[in-house]
Structure 1
Amino acid sequence: MGGSTELGVSGESILGGFGDTEANSDNLTPADYIKMRQNDGTIASMYSILTMPILASQYTIAADEEDANGEQADFIRRVLLNPPHKGGMEIPMPIILGQMLQAVLEGFALFEKVYMISSEGKIVYKKLANRDSRTVFLIRAQDGGYGGAHQRTTFKSVYYDVEMPAWKTMLYTYGKDKNFLYGESAFKAAHYHYVLKHKLYYLANLSVQTSAVPPKVLSGPSNYGKPEKDRAMRNVEKLGGVRTTAYIPDVLTLTPYDSAKGRMDALPLIEHHNAEMARSVLAQFLMLGTGSKSGSWALSKDHSDILLTALKGVMSSIEDHINHYLIPDLIDLNFVNPAYPEWHFQDITSDAKDLVLQAFTQMVTSGVVSDEIKQGIEDRIAETLDFDMEQLHQDVLDAAKEKIAAAKAMGIDVDPQGNPLPIRQTVAAPAGGGADAKPGAKPVSKPINQSDEAAGVIPKVPERLPALRSGSTSDRFKPDWMP
């Protein structure tokens, strides 16, 4: 037996399924994960954070060095990127990428390859049709690899039971190292906290209900008749609900029940489980600033860098699947001398510069960000945009010196940053026996305002003064000689 013969098998065969299919060993189904995303805002937000940056990224199809005239790369671009009337697929590639990213939530995404003959006489994809993960079972091949899929479902009142061979499908698996066929959802660890969080929501709602309509205790003599007691109980039950008043006999006593004893605030626990869900999918930087402790920018930066690394890992995985299972298929079917082009995502951070700048502006102008975080954001933005901070520092100092020198030359008082101070004019005290006259009144000084200037009471400010632009210089750029 030669060394080229494979003796063992890869993967672990799981009992169950239908016929030659293999059951998913995960105790949670794709339907469970979909329910999590639909019912929980934190889960939905984290799913968007894990997928939207990838969907917003640009991508290219690069020709192989053996493809001298780029013919094969152009062919792949037409098939995968063009609209149907220009030789492309019926389902646009951005939608297919979004469906592939469902594997982040559900563990895997299955596509059926539907072929057709193009107007050029080539075999191309008519569509890559996504198959609902809740309706398929995956097949383990004899060598332990992927062997196709079996789908059982009802569509428009028609029952379908079909088997799709491996060559006619593309399987994208997230967490393939956890489960070779079905993968593992990025939200599996979050499910535990999701369940507890919603139980706490239920208990918190009960607590609010009890506070709004507090329980009541009705007491009376032991020999009180049952019909009268039942009547009084019905009246009390309606009190605070459909009625605002109730009558009870004098022999009975209605006492509010103190339900606040031993009650605890569920919100800290809910926030704890939200944070744990976020940490489980490397998005814990979203939770900074919530709860009793606010996070620092440095900590947020470290966590967001981890998330970016995870996103790049997902992008690399998608690239590998497209370059291994979509592009070579078309090249082998249509070219005698294949030169396989490759799909590549562009760097996710370069496309986010404008968004980072907008976020920086909004955070600083909103006044809700601490000085430390502002400083951290400013440093990170400068680093990202390749600002020369030393030169910027010197420019600010030079501008302040020029403003101060120009103001002094015109005899105008300025603040340490070179901004003109309000002009004050001496005004004589009212004379005569007017109502405002005071014995021994001295001249007073008051700021000049626009109404006085418009009325001609005072001379207008020299026209050169507006050239001394107002504005504040950051304290971090203030030189030592400034007070």
Structure 2
Amino acid sequence: MLQLNEQGLFQPSAVVPGSRPATVERGYQSNQLPGWGAFLDESNETNAELAWPFALEIWDRMRREDPQVASVLRAVTTPIRRTPWMIDPAGARGPVVEHIARNLGLPIKGYGRVRALRTRGRFSFEEHLRHALLQLVYGHSYFEQVCFIDGGLVNLRKLGWRPPRSISRVVVARDGGLEAIEQHGVTGADIRIPVTRLVGYVNDREGANWLGMSLLRTAYKMWLLKDRGLRTQALTLERNGLGVPVYEGAEMPESVAKSPTERDNWQKSERDAGLKVAKEFRAGEGAGASIPHSANLTLKGVDGRLPDTDKPIRYYDEQIARSMLANFLNLGGDSSKGSYALGATFEDFFTGSLNALSLQVADVMQQHVVEDLVDWNWGESEPAPRIVAAVIGEDEAITPDGLGRLIEAGVVIPDAVLEEATRSRYRLPAKDTRTERVAVTLIPAEAPAAPEEEA
């Protein structure tokens, strides 16, 4: 408890008996029950088809077969992948900052890139980020740390991705903390990877649910209805685009009509032959049919109007994008409504969600990659730099006129790095020191004095 002292400042009061701070948990987040029931309880999934690991097959189908889902996922992941990522010193010592930047292959904020390690057989930040964002598809994405010693320092060799399909079990402690993951054994028992060697990205984790929730979960119903609508639409085109073949049999010969047995046999034969012609009729350059005299083969269309399947399919597409805050992707279509200002508002919400996601990725990397490297090499008391990403949506391209104004106002002082970056940005040739000329400022000559007038 806190109370005000005579100076108006808070100070701790006497500890009330029985109110000592707790150091051991009594409750729990995970009931630690083994088997599939534990996973269902933790994820709170009510649809049996979407229970782990059966949902992995559905998420793959959605992102690989549906263009709208694939487009929205690219819209979510591409800005995070292309935004500049860097190492912020944050008060850490120079050797520590340089070691982290070199291992991750990232530039140091305000200083540019350091000389990186050999790329072959080394950690690739771009590849890691691409796999880390698969947490949005599967709900989780786990990696195993692999290091090597060089020059007396621990270096990061790779973060090996452990595919969700290979995971047989996620081991969770009673307090909800992750203990390990287990992979299906290739030749024998399952492979257990402890949490001390794991880097795990979990989307929308709640409590002890270390399987997370896929970003596609809320779009599943719309995708399912759209898939059925597309199948119905394709069937409608297939059956009614050409017409339905209808065969009318030939007239019965008089010689056959006299005998009841021959008449029945002839009618059955004619009916079977006509049905075969109708079923095998196909459109194409070589399409055709041969029928007996007085028989008739016609293609009949549908009386009335066919159901409009385009409108509900467009609606399902809009709802899929809305479930991921990507409403602006539907603007400009046949059924779109709203102004460009409304689209800009949608985009602001979308970029805000992307920035929140990049912060989550950076937080996991900070705890389980950056700080682990610092702890292994210098101890837990050593200050660690931070991995940060540029804010998405706030980039504004500098123009030559704008750069000139900043230099003229003294906000920016030109140096060699700025000159090199400017030449590269505007595709100017590299500086040639052999033909370098010194800038000369021309001073205008004084104007001749006007002749004096004679008195």
The two structures have a TM-score, normalised by structure 1, of 0.66
- Which residue of 315, 318, 325 corresponds with 2:361? 318
Q: Closer, same or farther in 2 for the Cα pair 1:353/1:87, shift >3 Å?
A: closer
Partner residue of 2:81? 55
Q: Give yes or no for contact 1:15–1:22 (8 Å, CA) kept in 2.
A: no
Partner residue of 2:26? 7
Tell me if 1:247 matches 2:276: no
Looking at structure 1, the residues matched to 180 and 40 of structure 2 have their Cα atoms a distance apart, in angstroms, of: 9
Tell me if 1:259 matches 2:318: no
**Aligned residue runs from structure 1 range 105-116, under 5 A:** 105-116=137-148
Looking at structure 1, the residues matched to 184 and 272 of structure 2 have their Cα atoms a distance apart, in angstroms, of: 57
- Which residue of 151, 156, 162 corresponds with 2:183? 151
Question: Identity across aligned pairs (percent)?
Answer: 22
Name the aligned partner's letter for residue 235 of structure 1. Answer: V
Over the aligned positions, Cα root-mean-square deviation in angstroms equals 3.2
**Aligned residue runs from structure 1 range 21-100, under 5 A:** 26=45, 27-28=49-50, 29-65=55-91, 67=92, 69-81=93-105, 85-86=117-118, 90-100=122-132
SS of the residue 1:225 aligns to: helix
Q: Give yes or no for contact 2:177–2:208 (8 Å, CA) kept in 1.
A: no
SS of the residue 1:305 aligns to: helix
Name the aligned partner's letter for residue 232 of structure 1. Answer: G
- Which residue of 128, 131, 134 corresponds with 2:159? 128
What displacement does 1:111 show? 0.3
Q: Give the gaps of 5 or more residues in structure 2.
A: 1-19, 107-114, 252-262, 406-455
Partner residue of 1:300? 343
What displacement does 1:172 show? 0.7
SS of the residue 2:24 aligns to: coil
Q: Closer, same or farther in 2 for the Cα pair 1:190/1:20, shift >3 Å?
A: closer
SS of the residue 2:146 aligns to: strand
What displacement does 1:18 show? 11
Name the aligned partner's letter for residue 326 of structure 1. Answer: V
Q: Closer, same or farther in 2 for the Cα pair 1:346/1:2, shift >3 Å?
A: closer
The alignment covers a number of residue pairs equal to 351
Q: Closer, same or farther in 2 for the Cα pair 1:276/1:31, shift >3 Å?
A: same
Name the aligned partner's letter for residue 128 of structure 1. Answer: L
Looking at structure 2, the residues matched to 20 and 190 of structure 1 have their Cα atoms a distance apart, in angstroms, of: 22
- Which residue of 204, 222, 245 corresponds with 1:175? 204
CA deviation profile, 1:449-476 (whole Å, cap 9, x unmatched) = xxxxxxxxxxxxxxxxxxxxxxxxxxxx
Looking at structure 1, the residues matched to 233 and 382 of structure 2 have their Cα atoms a distance apart, in angstroms, of: 64
Partner residue of 1:371? none
What displacement does 1:243 show? 3.7
Q: Closer, same or farther in 2 for the Cα pair 1:14/1:310, shift >3 Å?
A: farther
Looking at structure 2, the residues matched to 193 and 91 of structure 1 have their Cα atoms a distance apart, in angstroms, of: 39
- Which residue of 226, 230, 239 corresponds with 2:268? 226
Name the aligned partner's letter for residue 385 of structure 2. Answer: P
- Which residue of 135, 143, 159 corresponds with 1:103? 135
Partner residue of 1:363? none
SS of the residue 2:155 aligns to: strand
Looking at structure 1, the residues matched to 57 and 215 of structure 2 have their Cα atoms a distance apart, in angstroms, of: 15
Name the aligned partner's letter for residue 191 of structure 2. Answer: V
Which moved further from structure 2: 320-329 or 238-247? 238-247
What displacement does 1:35 show? 1.8
Q: Give yes or no for contact 1:21–1:140 (8 Å, CA) kept in 2.
A: no
SS of the residue 1:338 aligns to: coil
What displacement does 1:353 show? 4.3
Which moved further from structure 2: 289-298 or 71-80? 289-298
Q: Give yes or no for contact 1:113–1:128 (8 Å, CA) kept in 2.
A: yes
Looking at structure 2, the residues matched to 21 and 333 of structure 1 have their Cα atoms a distance apart, in angstroms, of: 37
Q: Give the gaps of 5 or more residues in structure 1.
A: 358-383, 388-483
